Chains A and B, each alone.
Chain A
Amino acid sequence: MPKKGQVTVFIILGIVILSVGGLLLYLVQNTQKEKLRFEQAKVTLVESKAQAVQSLMENCLLEATERALLFISRQGGYVTTPEPYLEFSIFKIPYYFDEKKLSVPDKGVIERQLAQYIEEDVNLCIQQWPPSPWNITLEENPSAQVTISPATVFVLLYVPTTVTVGDSRVGLDRFQVKIPSTLGTALEVRDSFLAEQEKYPDMVPLSELIQLTEKNKLAVDLQNVESTVIYQLFELSELSEEKLSGETIKKPVLTFAIRYPWQETEGLGEEWEWEEE
């Protein structure tokens, strides 16, 4: 009978060992799961903050780009207009032509001007963000890269940013925005128009201007200040015919000035003179 009793003991012991082992295994596994769940929650929190920062930044970028386009559209593509320019209201409208073609900013120059404006404006925008319990660190100043296409303006903003929540952190660095804009088309129209202007420096080549703008689905509005004409190109798609002839045009795509050899107070030009016998 002792052999039979030994077997029984071993069986019971085995069951106990297995039970304890299983319990231990369960306890260990459960603890690890909890820990993982906690870690996962921490990551989600930082990411959500980072997403919020991303959204804020993109919003800044969008507004900055819109303002930049609006501003440079009234200053011939410049943020800082070089001389010669026409001071009109608060804007400095560059002269593109004064009896001969003057310095005209090409697409690359305007892209850099836009980038400059956007960088400064994004900085201002960031400063106006509300206080945050978590830490947002800009590792570098914003750096923008602008690409003007015929129908869009694409901006890539590089701002290395770290969002830290507790001991968790997330890095962000690139933001981008793509805005529908006919600035690129307007620049092409401008260049073609200036080429025509060189042929007839004493007058506004009106038919050419209208043809160019209509062909490119732009509208044009001219305003003369003494012997200077301010040219404003608009997106035609936004404007009904009524608006074209009315006074609701507000946002030009491009504005520039040309000075002509006109004498405002005199009579008609020499072409109207009459030689008597």
Chain B
Amino acid sequence: MKPSLLIRIMLFILVLPILVLHLVAAPNQEGSSPAFSSVEQPYSDEFQDDLRNLGIDPALASNCQSCSYDPSTGVLALAPGASIDLKSATLKEGTIIELNGGNLQLPSGTLSGLGSYTAGEPPSLAGGILQFDPEQKAMTIRFQDSVLIPEEGAEIHGNGHIVNGKIFLDQGDIAYEGITEQVQAVQIEKFSDGKIHLLGGSAFRIGNNKDSVRLEGLGEKELREITLSPGKRGETVLAVGKLIENPAILWQREEDPDFLVRVQGHPTIDLRSAHPEARPPQPARFLYEGQEHRFLGTLSFRDGTLSFPQNLDKKQPQMIDGVYVRPRTAVSVYFNDNIHAGENYLALGEQLRMGGDNFIVALGEKGEGCPHLLFCYEFEENKYVVKKKEEGSPYRLLFNFDAARRQKTTAEPVSEVVGGYGEVLINPAEKMIRVSGTVRTVNGVHELEYFLDGETQKYNYRPAGCGASAGVRERSCTAIDYDFTDGGIVNVVKRTNLISLRQGEDQVTLPRFGDQRREGKVTLNREQVYVLGYKGGELPETLLGKGKEQYGFGHVGLLYCTPTSGGCEWTVTEADGRTVRTGPLEDSLFGPRYVDSHADGLWKVVDDDGKPILADKVMRYADTIIGAPYGKLSLTGSTFSCVEVVCEAVKAAGVKIEKPPSVSFGNLPFKDLGVSATVYTVLAESFAAPLIPHVPDTVVQSPNLQPVQVEQPTLNEGLVQRELIQGEVVQ
């Protein structure tokens, strides 16, 4: 015998029993030929009649030799391993099929396990395991204490009903991809991407009777989208989404008010606000221990403790009651203002207490935003830092509890990480912020870095930029008038123990403005410097002739805001003919104090790039020339004219504003005032050279002065035309 033939015979001997076994086993498999089964294991005629009477073709039953039917109860009891295909069957209403480990083939699924199926409209299931495909939308059934498997890996256990494949779970457990939650009154939309998508109404609940989260404030026909997803720490994240009204139509309301959930007891769940990437982000509301709160992001509930879990995603705002947080590590949330030493926490009581490390907190104004690139969205109101609207532009308060401080020393020019735990207490009643430990704070454009040097609390200062990067502009940069304390007091607005900087705007009254001496109101920035001027006086009269002095500015002075204990006072520095003096606007030559004192023009001082210069720089200079104590000495300059006060002070701020040329008369813009060059030259030559630069009219023509409000008479056939360049004069 050839070896190859021997091999073939041996293979045949091996394969033949396998084929036989396969054919024998085939009837037990789903979809196998019932004819084969019936041929091999025929049912009794009586049983076949019973099946027919129930509306079941006996040919569609398999492995049902041990099945039985009790006509007195109308119950068909399947045997373990038995199977009946009901896809095309029309069961007599009220027929009960006990599964007993057998299974029923339904139009879009299979029933198995232990339980009973009752035919009807709709049919019902008690117990049992229903595996079905919701996408086919063919399954309609009531179920009680049943297990539903709508998708591989997803399991629902409880009571409810299915309508055209849509599951309505009255009460039960739901499990999918590591999520296991007890829920009530939900419509299960789908399982996908590891998430469970639900719709919940006013009766919705997740959790048990004692510890749960419910939806509040929904109408009878209103539903909310609900998403359950697995958190990183094994918890379930609950996100409540859009409002759906009238489930029958499933149209979405145009207005989508933020949702309200009631947190009862101490459930273990994460709440996530809707639309985490929406702009502006929509805060969600929840009721907890009788109080309503707003939040954004993910808020974790664990055994009665709330926290923001770690979240490094810049795009997702995290907020609780208007307090915004970026948690590098989890931050607990309490609704009291107690100390919770040793943990990262926000304690939101009448005062706001914060402690820990590795997170950043921001406070801002409602409707405003972007105090920092990490918080670039519209803010919600908080009750801890409230500012009146008239106090100027939006404020920013930032607290960086980041222990990692990159410290450089000249002694050892290497970076090292120092720091540790920090605490902050914000007391709105006393407008006080107490800082201890390691915290970096920003109030407006002031950064205070608090840290411990051994056991000594220290703090360093630097101006905090309020700029732009990555194409995003920080918009809220104003300081709030709160005292920062750590034993000492720093108030950046009142300039207590701090570098001079001011923010905000004031509406300033010019008591007598223009030819009519009307009261004018202008809005001025506290940080900026302005120049005031009036027309008339000795100099224009000399230059232009008697009766025409009103066409030339005869006096200029500096106007800026000087911080006071009460805030900020608008101050004029001017040379009044005897000395350089500084005082309130009301007491100046532009105020009402003197018989004919008034103002005809107001300009903002800008640098060569058109940016306003800071008042502090000018104010410091003004300090040095008030009373001119150094006037006697050549070392300290000579006397100051009103023009020099303006020019020198502005120059001290780093702006290249030039005094008018002393001899180049042709450059002076007097022709604009109707004075011919010839007349002007004659006039100019009649003056002593040092007097020529002291012409206010030339100063106000400087490109470094931007008109805010100027009354500008021009000589035109003897008529005065007033031109309001900018601004509104109020009678």
Contact = CB atoms under 8 A, between A and B. Distances in A.
Contacts of B400: 271-272
A241 B564 CA distance: 11
A225 B654 contact: yes
Contacts of A245: 494-496, 563-565
Contacts of A7: none
Contacts of B448: 206
B312 A206 contact: no
Given A225-B654, A229-B499, A271-B440, A201 B408 contact: yes
Interface in B319-354: 326
A210 interface: yes
Contact of A266 (B469, B637, B652): B469
Interface string A251-277: 000000000101111111111101111
Interface string B254-298: 000000000000000000000000000000000000000000000
Contact of B500 (A99, A202, A207, A222): A222
A226 B372 CA distance: 21
Nearest to A79: B635
Contacts of A276: 312-314
Contacts of A267: 372-373, 465-469, 474
Interface stretch (A44-52, A66-74, A135-143, A174-182): A66-74
Interface residues of B, number: 75
Contacts of A100: 410
Nearest to B637: A90
B563 A206 contact: no
B690 interface: no
B512 interface: no
Contact of A272 (B312, B360, B616, B619): B360
B402 A210 contact: no
B465 A89 contact: no
Given A199-B411, A203-B449, A245-B563, A208 B458 contact: yes
B434 interface: no
A242 interface: yes
Interface string A108-133: 00000000000001001000000000
B51 to A, nearest CB: 61
A239 B459 CA distance: 25
Contact of B461 (A204, A211, A274): A204
Contact of B620 (A88, A260, A262, A264): A88
B463 interface: yes
A198 B621 contact: no
A222 B365 CA distance: 29
B626 interface: yes
Contacts of A99: 410
B720 interface: no
A247 interface: yes
B652 A205 contact: no
Contact of B460 (A121, A205, A222, A244): A205
A269 B404 CA distance: 13
A221 interface: yes
A275 B498 contact: no
A90 B461 contact: no
B595 interface: no
Nearest to B445: A264
A271 B409 contact: no
Interface string B140-179: 0000000000000000000000000000000000000000
A121 B632 CA distance: 11
Contacts of B314: 274, 276
A91 interface: yes
Contact of A89 (B360, B569, B621): B621
A25 to B, nearest CB: 63
A101 interface: yes
Contacts of B498: 206, 222
B654 A223 contact: no
Given A67-B630, A222-B500, A274 B411 contact: no
A224 interface: yes
Contacts of A222: 498-500
Nearest to B470: A267
A246 interface: yes
B2 interface: no
Contact of B465 (A71, A214, A264, A274): A264
Contacts of B373: 267
A71 B630 contact: yes
Contacts of A91: 624
Contact of B621 (A88, A206, A277): A88
B460 A271 contact: no
A37 interface: no
Interface in B501-525: 501
Contact of A206 (B406, B440, B460, B569): B460
B29 interface: no
B462 A272 contact: no
Given A74-B624, A89-B621, A247-B571, A207 B465 contact: no
Contact of A260 (B440, B462, B565): B462
Contacts of B447: 268-269
B648 interface: yes
B410 A250 contact: no
A221 B500 contact: yes
Contacts of B497: 206, 210, 220
A249 interface: yes
B52 interface: no
Given A225-B617, A272-B400, A262 B648 contact: no
Contacts of A90: 624, 636-637
A41 B256 CA distance: 110
B458 A205 contact: yes
Contact of A263 (B440, B465, B499): B465
Contacts of A220: 497
Contacts of B326: 274
A198 B461 contact: no
Contact of B409 (A124, A201, A223): A201
A205 B464 CA distance: 15
A200 interface: yes
A70 B631 CA distance: 13
Given A201-B408, A205-B458, A246-B562, A223 B500 contact: yes
A223 B499 contact: yes
Interface in A122-166: 124
B407 A200 contact: yes
14 contacts: A71-B635, A201-B409, A224-B463, A224-B499, A224-B501, A229-B499, A265-B465, A266-B467, A268-B372, A268-B447, A274-B312, A274-B326, A276-B312, A277-B313
Top 9 nearest A-B pairs (CB, nearest first) are A203-B460, A247-B562, A206-B461, A204-B461, A222-B499, A245-B565, A100-B410, A266-B465, A207-B458
Interface of B: 312-314, 326, 360, 372-374, 398, 400, 402, 404-411, 440, 442, 447-449, 457-469, 474, 486, 488, 490, 494-501, 562-565, 569, 571, 582, 616-617, 619-621, 623-627, 629-630, 633, 635-637, 648, 652, 654
Given A91-B624, A202-B462, A207-B460, 7 more contacts: A206-B461, A221-B500, A222-B500, A224-B463, A247-B564, A266-B465, A271-B440
